[in-house]
Amino acid sequence: MVTICTYNARTLASESSIEDLLMQARMIRHDVIGLAETRRRHPFNTVYDTGEELFLGTCDSRGVGGVGVLVNTSLSMNIDSFEQLTTRIGRLRLKRCGSTPALTVFVVYAPTSNYDEEEVEAFYMDLERFYREDHTFFKVIIGDFNAKIGPRRSSEERHIGTHGLKWNEQDSVGMEDFHGDQPAPSLDFQQLTNMLWGMGNMQSRRPLGQRIAT
């Protein structure tokens, strides 16, 4: 089983923010953590003494975006490659190793509803294209979609789970349409209330995000 998490880091542009990430990540069970909003001007990749490997992509000219991944020691030998396809979409490819099958993990940071409709649509079109062009049998999309998808409203919405916040029609249109076009169900993960991220002195805490076991 591979445990995949996602986290909006707000920024990973400084050494101290990276140190905080590593310290807090070691407190939870994970194999891969997808990272959104790195806000870095230069890409970063390193392998730590513990065996963990960190990939961080870059933001755009406005200082927005950037995605990356932190791969735990347990899965580092499976890494084939990480590419930042756009400032909002990254792709981690894991090769087959032992009982773990080949797997592609897309990490995303979607535009909010404050952006022009054309920019939001372009993001989802890019994501769909990258998804369809990847021929790995097992594929996972994680990240910050900046959208509220509520719980399933009818039996036909099999791609939407039973857990979620109340519906926000404006924010959720692109995400719902994208998931509705995919064969696999998603968004069926209950909030893990005990998974909190503590920054620095632990006075500021917020949800780490959802975990997926695949």
Going residue by residue through the chain, which has 214 residues, state the pLDDT in tens, using 9 for 90 and above: 899 999 999 999 999 999 999 999 999 999 999 999 999 999 999 999 999 999 999 999 999 999 999 999 999 999 999 999 999 999 999 999 877 789 999 999 999 888 999 999 999 999 999 999 999 999 999 999 987 666 666 666 655 666 555 545 455 555 656 554 554 444 444 444 333 444 343 344 444 444 444 4
Separation of alpha carbons 114 and 111, rounded Å: 8
Mapped onto helix, strand or coil, the DSSP state of residue 2 is: coil
204 DSSP β-pair partners:
199
Q: What is the CATH number of domain 3-213?
A: 3.60.10.10
Whether the Cβ atoms of residue 46 and residue 74 lie closer than 8 Å to each other: no
Q: Residue type at 45?
A: N
- The verdict on pTM exceeding 0.85 is no
- What whole-number distance in Å separates Cα of residue 46 and Cα of residue 80? 15
DSSP 176: H
Which DSSP symbol is given to 112?
P
The predicted structure's pLDDT at residue 133: 96
Q: What is the pLDDT of residue 98?
A: 78
pLDDT (0 to 100) of residue 39: 96
DSSP state of 101: P
**Domain locations along the chain:** 3-213
